[in-house]
Amino acid sequence: MQAARDRFSSLRGGFAFLDAPGGSQVPDEVGDAIARALREASANLGAPYETGKRVEAILKNARDDAGRFLGCSSDDVIFGTNMTTLDFMLSRTASRDWKEGDRILVSRLDHDGGVAPWVELAADRGFEVNWIDVTDDLRLDLDDLERKLDERTRVVACVFASNAVGSITDAQRVAELAREAGALSWIDAVHYAAHEPVDVQAIGCDVFLCSPYKFCGPHLGLAYGRHELLESWRPYKARPAGSTPVGRKFETGTAPYELLAGFSATIAYLESLGGMDVLKTYERELGARFLETLPENVTVYGLQTMEGRVPTFLLNVDGVEAATVATTMAERGYGVWAHDNWYSLGLREKLPYPQDAVRVGFIHYNTVDEVDGFVAELASFSK
């Protein structure tokens, strides 16, 4: 991974960023692509000269690259400001013909970016929101999902991997159960897509959302919608803005072309490393080493092995406040944060710590030395 690390100015200072779940570091080539677009391309589509053609090419390339990343046609890709904004917009769009009393299922594992859009929608339109529970080891409880699905359920919205405790959800099974009940499956993959390869067709979901700034890209949201659904939905859209291919129907206003150019550079960067399959294997080794070498003064919440999780860990050190751990670690060259709920409000009720916990997230640019050094620092708290 040293060759990959050399592509990041931000990693040259020796500080170990173990905070990718909040937003990853970005390789220089992504910043360069953004700057180039600002220098060399027009600010909008439609100009009949060279700089205008460059904007068209940026848009087309970004859609093609997103399609490859997600495993879908570039037609079915929707770009937006971030996942939360896309989710507010798409949930409203999807529900235009739903009736009062229709039901929505969200999960206790979810980030509130995947919950609040439905809660607010329900408040406006008289829908009912119910929570799918988590198991004792903090995974989505599929039995509880089965119990709660009924003919009034219009959508099952859940997180693919928890940004707080790292557990992975069986999204394929969620999609299957939702489909059998006649409901939509709506997958928040913001955390998952930074660590695992994605194939929305294989999952069989209806809507899938992620955020490139979690995987070495610029601040953008990215969504996939099943083609027939996108064809059938009426968008909230100004006229005569472009509506083809179908994903563009749901993009409003002028796109951030420079960020789309940066997004393409991100996908090229990930592909140059062999793609997410390769990165996943490496990250799992980091995660396994971390778990195997953790000192006894540390409690990890949720799954205790790499089985069924990504390398994101929520933990506390015995007898030391999480905020103290985070600030001490920062002084010692390790970037982690302390927080109470990590925007996972439903999950927080199931977490046993009184105040905050520390989140440690490994991603492909982290190294074994960083894992070992961090573990040694954790152990030093007990001395």
Ligand X SMILES: Cc1ncc(COP(=O)(O)O)c(C=O)c1O
- Parallel/antiparallel/unpaired status of strands 337-339 and 77-80: unpaired
Tokens 């100015």 correspond to what residue? 9
Q: Which residues contact 44 (CB under 8 A, 6 or more apart)?
A: 55, 254
Q: Measure the CA–CA gap between 230 and 75, rounded to whole angstroms.
A: 10
Minimum separation from the CB atom of position 133 to ligand X (A): 18
Minimum separation from the CB atom of position 20 to ligand X (A): 10
77 within 8 A of 69, measured Cβ to Cβ: no
Minimum separation from the CB atom of position 342 to ligand X (A): 8
Residue 163 vs 366, nearer CB to ligand X: 163
- Say how many C-beta atoms besides its own lie within 10 A of residue 53's C-beta: 14
Count interface residues toward ligand X (CB under 6 A).
13
**In the structure, how many helices (H) and strands (E) does the chain have?**
14, 13
Interface residue with ligand X among 141, 188, 196, 283 (CB under 6 A) is 188
Q: Which stretch binds ligand X (CB under 6 A): 9-17, 108-116, 292-300, 348-356?
A: 108-116
- Say how many C-beta atoms besides its own lie within 10 A of residue 119's C-beta: 13
Residue 221 vs 235, nearer CB to ligand X: 221
Residue 111 vs 139, nearer CB to ligand X: 111
Residue 93 vs 107, nearer CB to ligand X: 107
196 within 8 A of 190, measured Cβ to Cβ: no
Helix (H, G, I), strand (E, B) or coil at 23: coil
Minimum separation from the CB atom of position 318 to ligand X (A): 27
Q: If you write DSSP's letter for every residue of 350-371 in order, what string do you get?
A: T---SS-EEEEE--TT--HHHH
Residue 159 vs 255, nearer CB to ligand X: 159
Residue 66 vs 190, nearer CB to ligand X: 190
Record the tokens describing residue 146, joined without a space: 């089965």
Minimum separation from the CB atom of position 344 to ligand X (A): 8
Q: Which residues from 196-235 bind ligand X, rule CB under 6 A?
A: 211, 221
Minimum separation from the CB atom of position 137 to ligand X (A): 19
152 within 8 A of 103, measured Cβ to Cβ: yes
Give the sign of the dihedral formed by CA 73, CA 74, CA 79, CA 83: positive
Q: Measure the CA–CA gap between 82 and 212, rounded to whole angstroms.
A: 9
Binding mask 130-169 for ligand X (x = CB under 6 A): -----------------------------x---x------
Least Cα distance to 77 among 88, 64, 90 occurs for 64
Interface residue with ligand X among 113, 256, 262, 346 (CB under 6 A) is 113
Minimum separation from the CB atom of position 286 to ligand X (A): 19
Minimum separation from the CB atom of position 87 to ligand X (A): 8
Q: Which stretch binds ligand X (CB under 6 A): 78-86, 147-155, 197-205, 271-279?
A: 78-86
Q: Which stretch binds ligand X (CB under 6 A): 2-10, 49-57, 60-68, 184-192?
A: 184-192
Q: Measure the CA–CA gap between 63 and 73, rounded to whole angstroms.
A: 9
Q: Which stretch binds ligand X (CB under 6 A): 28-36, 109-117, 172-180, 281-289?
A: 109-117
Residue 41 vs 287, nearer CB to ligand X: 287
Cα 219 vs. chain centroid, distance in angstroms?
12
Q: Measure the CA–CA gap between 317 and 66, rounded to whole angstroms.
A: 40
Binding mask 79-98 for ligand X (x = CB under 6 A): ---xxx--------------
Q: Measure the CA–CA gap between 223 and 230, rounded to whole angstroms.
A: 11
309 binds ligand X (CB under 6 A): no
Q: Which residues from 58-77 bind ligand X, rule CB under 6 A?
A: none
Q: Measure the CA–CA gap between 177 and 172, rounded to whole angstroms.
A: 9
Q: Which residues bind ligand X (CB under 6 A)?
A: 82-84, 111, 113-114, 159, 163, 188, 190-191, 211, 221
